[in-house]
Chain A
Amino acid sequence: MTVTLTPSPTARKAGPRRRRDHRRRATLQWIATHALAIALAIMFLGPLVFIGLTAVMTDHQALTSQLWPSRWEWSNFADIFVKAPLLTWIVNTLMYSILATVFMLVSSIPVAYALARFRFPGRKLAFLLVITTMMLPPQVVAVPIYLIWARFHLTGTLWPLILPMLLGDAFSIFLLRQFLVTIPREYSDAARVDGCGEFRTLMRVILPMARPAIAAVALFQFFYCWNDYYGPLLYAGTDTSHWTLSLGLASFRAVHRVQWNLTMAATLLAMAPVIVVFFFAQKAFIEGVKLTGVK
């Protein structure tokens, strides 16, 4: 409460006793807010901590209600690779995430640039249609799209999730456009005066300036794919060698008849890349999230 803490003019005029009261209230408030924040932080971190602790328990202990591992069973992390084709799933997930992200960037950046910069009839309509496709649930058009891929015999693979990214992704286009409109027009005008064409202007002037936004959409896309469950469930089929990590993880416990400890070890493995990358690219994430919360 930055406001109540700064002494108001009336408080300043009042005697030293009033001021001391004010100081004390401020201290109490400081303690209360920070205590609350610490309590919340424990609640937010608790699930991750317990997942981590269970992941290193022995098979036997994971069946009990004990909270702290009696023996730290690090070999669990090796075991899960034996119990299930985790490596294959990781490779599949990486292929899906990387290809989709690269394809998305190549196709979406020009679209976002055109929406942010070009004047043409239907510009507003195009932008509103981008928002509409971004908002509408993917399930709405799932049946005919599934039939398209079935005709090309691509159901049972992850290609139906990767190839459409060559034709732009509405969410990324929207986010990039929101950033690109904030770049002052003078920069591209100056480039044009220097004899740059539209494409050169985009590549040489706009893209370097838009690096934070591009990093944000790339991260979002990558982790959307990494986390995606609905898409692979729809297309990857029953052959586990085409599964992704999310898909495998959801069936892990039941199919492979494993205990909670191994399930939590695999869960931790699926979370790890996201958390590690987040700590390296925290700023890009936060800036990207802010772009989504348009006023």
Chain B
Amino acid sequence: MPAGRKGRHRGSLMALLYLSPWLAGFTVFFAYPLIATVYFSFQRYDLFTLEPVGFLNYRYFWQDEAAWTSIRNTLWLVVVMVPLRVLFGLGVAQLVTKLKAGVGFFRTIFYLPSLVPLVAGTLGFVFLLNPGTGPVPTILSALGIPSPDWFGDPSWSKPGLTLLSLWSVGDLMVIFLAALLDVPKQLYEAAALDGAGPWQQFFHVTLPVIRPVLMFATVTGVIQTLQYFTQAMVAARVASGSTDSAGSVFTPGYPDQSTLTFPEWLFQEGFRDFAMGYACVLALILFAVSMVFTLFLLRQFRGLAEEEA
């Protein structure tokens, strides 16, 4: 059918035309830089001189203690913060489904903090938890509960960041709420007929239906947490009282490298110490780890790509 083939050919050209901005963007801002990152990882590069050093940067990684500290911190956030966020988001969403009065009001309030700019929210939390002036230690001590020095204490700084992440759980809540409301009512009725209590209904009806949404949220949560940067950077900066302006040096991770995340260390090495070759090694490690989780997501999406309206 020559006419059909011709039509398809024209369709491809048309597609190419519409896709061209993204194709250019993908090439310039993704494909090329990814290859260049591999290339630079074998160089010593400080913006001025480029010198091939073989596997030196890779070997250096094994003895770079700050890098390993940052990996441990990032892992802590992935293991503690991500599940807590998912559980809390699900709990809040579940609560909203049970409300009879003021649903819109509560949903708005629970969602609102997730819109607060990261820097502003972090500043707010450092202040809220700040010993001496912050309302939280004040209220806690009025109740006779000792309050830790949150962002000034290495063992409490990550829990402090976790509190901040729970406060802004609204985006997850909205996604879970939509999923919960999609669960067919008849399933619950059938389960109730069979004598299932609320918990049994949750585990045998709700959970199986919303499991894909939970999985998706968890995996994207992990990928986002691998990029965790702004909150850690700002909290450390504000709590330590130091600046990053010209003249003074700010090293992320305050207190005592307890908030130093992997992307922060990459940033520090590449754009503050200008060890750009080594930063590329760190970038490739980040790429490899994120890719594992992304591939998982892609498997979920493969079906989606095929769907045709």
Would you list which residues of chain A between 110 and 168 have a CB under 8 Å from chain B? 110-111, 113-121, 123-124, 126-133, 135-148, 150, 164, 166-168
Bound: A295/B193 CA distance, A: 28
Interface centre among A129, A144, A148, A282 (most CB of B within 10 A): A144
Evaluate contact between B223 and A294: CB separation under 8 angstroms: no
B179 interfacial by beta-carbon distance below 8 Å: yes
- From A286, which residue of chain B is reached at the shortest CB distance? B174
B65 interfacial by beta-carbon distance below 8 Å: no
Evaluate contact between B24 and A47: CB separation under 8 angstroms: no
Evaluate contact between B21 and A181: CB separation under 8 angstroms: no
Bound: A184/B309 CA distance, A: 6
Would you list which residues of chain B between 231 and 245 have a CB under 8 Å from chain A? 233-234, 237-238, 241-245
B216 interfacial by beta-carbon distance below 8 Å: yes
- From A198, which residue of chain B is reached at the shortest CB distance? B14
Taking CB atoms, residues of chain B closer than 8 Å to A268 are 120
A87 interfacial by beta-carbon distance below 8 Å: no
A230 interfacial by beta-carbon distance below 8 Å: yes
Evaluate contact between A143 and B40: CB separation under 8 angstroms: yes
| Nearest Cβ on chain B to A125's Cβ, whole angstroms | 9
Interface centre among B28, B30, B176 (most CB of A within 10 A): B30
Choose one: B11, B113, B201, B307; the contact of A47 (CB below 8 Å): B113
| Nearest Cβ on chain B to A128's Cβ, whole angstroms | 5
Interface centre among A108, A130, A184, A229 (most CB of B within 10 A): A229
A267 interfacial by beta-carbon distance below 8 Å: yes
User: What interface size band does chain A fall in?
Assistant: 35 or more
| Nearest Cβ on chain B to A139's Cβ, whole angstroms | 5
Bound: A282/B114 CA distance, A: 13
Bound: A181/B220 CA distance, A: 22
| Nearest Cβ on chain A to B231's Cβ, whole angstroms | 9
Taking CB atoms, residues of chain A closer than 8 Å to B109 are 41, 44-45
| Nearest Cβ on chain B to A101's Cβ, whole angstroms | 15
B298 interfacial by beta-carbon distance below 8 Å: yes
Known contacts A136-B291, A144-B32, A166-B21; A8 and B193 CB within 8 A of each other: yes
Evaluate contact between A135 and B98: CB separation under 8 angstroms: no
Would you list which residues of chain B between 184 and 219 have a CB under 8 Å from chain A? 185, 188-189, 191-193, 198, 201, 212-213, 216-217
Taking CB atoms, residues of chain A closer than 8 Å to B176 are 293
| Nearest Cβ on chain A to B223's Cβ, whole angstroms | 5
Bound: A36/B198 CA distance, A: 17
Evaluate contact between B229 and A286: CB separation under 8 angstroms: no
A77 interfacial by beta-carbon distance below 8 Å: no
Taking CB atoms, residues of chain B closer than 8 Å to A140 are 34, 37, 283-284, 286-287, 290
B143 interfacial by beta-carbon distance below 8 Å: no
Choose one: B8, B92, B198, B266; the contact of A119 (CB below 8 Å): B8
User: What interface size band does chain B fall in?
Assistant: 35 or more
- From B14, which residue of chain A is reached at the shortest CB distance? A198
Choose one: B16, B97, B127, B179; the contact of A263 (CB below 8 Å): B127
A22 interfacial by beta-carbon distance below 8 Å: no
Bound: A143/B273 CA distance, A: 13
Would you list which residues of chain B between 252 and 267 have a CB under 8 Å from chain A? 263, 266-267
Interface centre among A8, A30, A118, A185 (most CB of B within 10 A): A118
Bound: A282/B112 CA distance, A: 10
| Nearest Cβ on chain A to B85's Cβ, whole angstroms | 14
B119 interfacial by beta-carbon distance below 8 Å: yes
Known contacts A111-B19, A129-B26, A290-B175; A260 and B133 CB within 8 A of each other: yes
Q: Which residues of A contact B (CB under 8 A)?
A: 1-4, 6, 8-9, 29-30, 33-34, 36-37, 40-41, 43-48, 50-51, 54, 62-65, 67, 107-108, 110-111, 113-121, 123-124, 126-133, 135-148, 150, 164, 166-168, 170, 173, 180-185, 198, 223, 226-227, 229-230, 233-234, 238, 240, 246, 249-255, 260, 263-264, 267-268, 270-271, 274-275, 278, 282, 285-286, 289-290, 292-295
Q: Can you give 19 contacting A-B residue pairs, CB < 8 Å?
A: A3-B185, A51-B127, A63-B133, A116-B309, A117-B309, A118-B18, A128-B298, A130-B22, A143-B36, A143-B276, A146-B270, A147-B36, A147-B47, A168-B25, A250-B123, A250-B234, A264-B124, A290-B178, A293-B217
